[in-house]
């Protein structure tokens, strides 16, 4: 392989910290590198020689890279890579540099044969699973109040989430409006909701605040959806039900934690505590999924306790605090739900003439074939004392919608069944190993 590399990329060639992407490797280079011109980007910078970079890379490579074997790793066959691609991934560098580093790395023991395929397997070590289980058990059995240990655990887990998991919605973002849906038993109740949407689509009054995923009984939260269809699906309306949906426009940017992206942090292979970091990342990915999945009705009172503590931490103890959380809908594919916390859920109407009298709402249908239409007779003057500007969310009264549920659709996802010719594995082994799903 060495023969293919141009002489300027031999072991003594200089490579600068800007030509590698791994932040920990960069840090190391800045500490011990020399000011030279980089042979790869042709700019002056803090540099190592390629031989030094290859020595460091080799150390990480031997820790995390193993030969790909069809019989053993067939489930990961899409991840298999040639050594050059592996080095590109580890260093976060381009092909040219990866080639130069590889040609300097010790080979010969089959560790990086150019034509063979390899897999990256990051060792993982973490006590988060046990800590979290202990936390959940302590909630069920003893104190429901925050203790220091729980606070430390939540700070450790959620104190510095990956950048991808912190999301902003509201003015100037891709999500300028959110949706809340409510069931109505008859047209009279529909009229009540349409006449005073600010009150009707705000958080329920204290007496009606049942404990939920993100709130203990009595603590107000607002459950919203990012899409109108998701708001509708989340209500699980029965056939024939009337559903009123209000679009709500946040009046300031709302800072949310996206629970489905807690495990998205990018791996830095040169981190000195790689295994610990990976253990934490894997736990968070699973954790985000666990706390956003639906809890069966009979487990609600216990099942929601841990997430209530998480919500309390995010709303009151995280710094900066969050206005709410975002999580995938279990009832609509690609749908997203939002829970807003107590300090971010005041609701007003965008039109100062609201609330209207209930009788100002008329049901009109001019022809029997046309769908009926609700008409809001606003006519009157502004309501005294109305100050919509103080609210965090404004109901967009132009766009209130009433849905009559006429059909329900079930969606299921097919799981593809494929054959894989693997004579080395016993049928029974494959079935048990893979149905275990590694959970
Ligand atoms: Zn460079």
Q: Has residue 74 got a pLDDT over 70?
A: yes
Ligand 1: centre distance to CA 87 (Å) = 16
Ligand 1: centre distance to CA 11 (Å) = 15
Ligand 1: centre distance to CA 82 (Å) = 24
Query: Per-residue DSSP letters for 272-317?
Result: TTHHHHHHHHHHHHHHHHHHHSPPPGGGHHHHTHHHHHHHHIIIII
Ligand 1: centre distance to CA 235 (Å) = 56
Ligand 1: centre distance to CA 271 (Å) = 21
Ligand 1: centre distance to CA 120 (Å) = 26
Q: What is the pLDDT of residue 337?
A: 93
Q: For residues 94 and 140, which has the higher predicted lDDT (pLDDT)? A: 94
CB neighbour class for 94 (10 Å; exposed up to 12, middle 13-18, buried from 19): middle
CA distance 2 to 9: 10
Ligand 1: centre distance to CA 39 (Å) = 7
Contacts of 101 (CB under 8 A, 6+ apart): 50, 53, 54, 57, 87, 91, 93
Q: Has residue 408 got a pLDDT over 70?
A: no
Ligand 1: centre distance to CA 352 (Å) = 61
Ligand 1: centre distance to CA 189 (Å) = 68
CB neighbour class for 252 (10 Å; exposed up to 12, middle 13-18, buried from 19): exposed
Ligand 1: centre distance to CA 164 (Å) = 28
Ligand 1: centre distance to CA 85 (Å) = 19
Tens of pLDDT, residues 197-221: 999 999 888 777 777 778 877 888 8
Q: For residues 86 and 415, which has the higher predicted lDDT (pLDDT)? A: 86
How many percent of the chain have pLDDT more than 90? 45
Ligand 1: centre distance to CA 118 (Å) = 27
Ligand 1: centre distance to CA 20 (Å) = 8
User: Residue 146: helix, strand or coil by DSSP?
Assistant: coil
CB neighbour class for 236 (10 Å; exposed up to 12, middle 13-18, buried from 19): exposed
Ligand 1: centre distance to CA 267 (Å) = 22
Ligand 1: centre distance to CA 105 (Å) = 19
Tens of pLDDT, residues 239-266: 888 899 999 999 999 999 999 898 888 8
277: Cα within 13 Å, side-chain hemisphere? 15
Ligand 1: centre distance to CA 104 (Å) = 18
Ligand 1: centre distance to CA 46 (Å) = 9
Ligand 1: centre distance to CA 16 (Å) = 4
pTM, full prediction: 0.76
Q: What confidence tier does 434 reach under pLDDT thresholds 50, 70, 90?
A: very low
Tens of pLDDT, residues 119-167: 999 988 877 888 888 877 777 665 555 567 778 888 888 888 889 999 9
Q: Has residue 80 got a pLDDT over 90?
A: yes
Q: What is the pLDDT of residue 146?
A: 55
CA distance 313 to 173: 26
Ligand 1: centre distance to CA 77 (Å) = 33
Ligand 1: centre distance to CA 84 (Å) = 18
Tens of pLDDT, residues 297-330: 566 555 677 788 888 889 998 989 999 999 998 8
C-alpha separations of 64 from 91, 110, 120, 135 in Å? 13, 15, 5, 32
Task: Show the tokens assigned to 403.
Answer: 């849905």
Ligand 1: centre distance to CA 50 (Å) = 11
Ligand 1: centre distance to CA 114 (Å) = 25
């Amino acid at each position: 392989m060495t023969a293919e590399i141009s002489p300027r990329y031999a072991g003594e060639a200089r490579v600068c910290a800007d030509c590698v992407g791994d932040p920990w490797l960069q840090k190391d280079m800045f500490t011990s590198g020399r000011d030279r011109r980089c042979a790869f980007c042709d700019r002056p910078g803090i540099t190592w020689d390629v031989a030094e970079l290859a020595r460091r890379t080799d150390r990480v490579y031997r820790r995390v890279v193993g030969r790909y074997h069809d019989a053993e790793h067939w489930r990961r066959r899409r991840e298999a890579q040639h050594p050059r691609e592996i080095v590109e991934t580890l260093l976060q560098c381009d092909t040219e540099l990866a080639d130069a580093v590889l040609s300097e790395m010790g080979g010969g023991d089959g560790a990086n044969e150019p034509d063979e395929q390899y897999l990256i397997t990051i060792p993982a070590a973490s006590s988060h699973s046990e800590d979290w289980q202990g936390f959940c058990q302590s909630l069920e059995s003893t104190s429901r109040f925050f203790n220091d240990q729980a606070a430390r655990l939540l700070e450790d887990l959620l104190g510095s989430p990956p950048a991808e998991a912190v999301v902003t919605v509201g003015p100037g973002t891709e999500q300028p409006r959110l949706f809340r849906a409510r069931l109505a038993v008859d047209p009279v109740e529909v009229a009540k909701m349409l006449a005073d949407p600010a009150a009707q689509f705000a958080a329920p009054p204290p007496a009606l605040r049942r404990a939920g995923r993100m709130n203990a009984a009595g603590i107000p939260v607002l459950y919203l959806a990012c899409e109108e269809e998701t708001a509708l699906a989340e209500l699980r309306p029965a056939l024939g039900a009337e559903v009123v949906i209000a679009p709500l426009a946040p009046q300031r940017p709302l800072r949310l934690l996206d629970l489905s992206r807690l495990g998205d942090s990018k791996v830095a292979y040169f981190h000195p505590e790689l295994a610990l970091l990976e253990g934490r990342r894997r736990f968070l990915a699973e954790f985000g999924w666990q706390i956003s999945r639906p809890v069966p009705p009979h487990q609600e009172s216990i099942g929601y306790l841990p997430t209530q503590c998480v919500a309390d931490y995010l709303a009151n103890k995280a710094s900066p605090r969050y206005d709410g959380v975002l999580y995938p809908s279990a009832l609509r594919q690609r749908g997203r739900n939002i829970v807003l916390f107590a300090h971010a859920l005041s609701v007003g109407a965008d039109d100062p003439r609201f609330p209207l009298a209930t009788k100002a709402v008329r049901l009109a249908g001019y022809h029997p074939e046309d769908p009926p239409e609700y008409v809001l007779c606003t006519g009157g003057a502004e309501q005294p004392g109305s100050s919509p500007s103080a609210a965090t969310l404004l109901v967009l009264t132009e766009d209130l919608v009433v849905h009559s549920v006429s059909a329900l659709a079930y969606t299921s996802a097919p799981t593809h069944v494929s054959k894989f010719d693997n004579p080395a594995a016993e049928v029974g082994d494959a079935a048990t190993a893979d149905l275990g799903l590694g959970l």
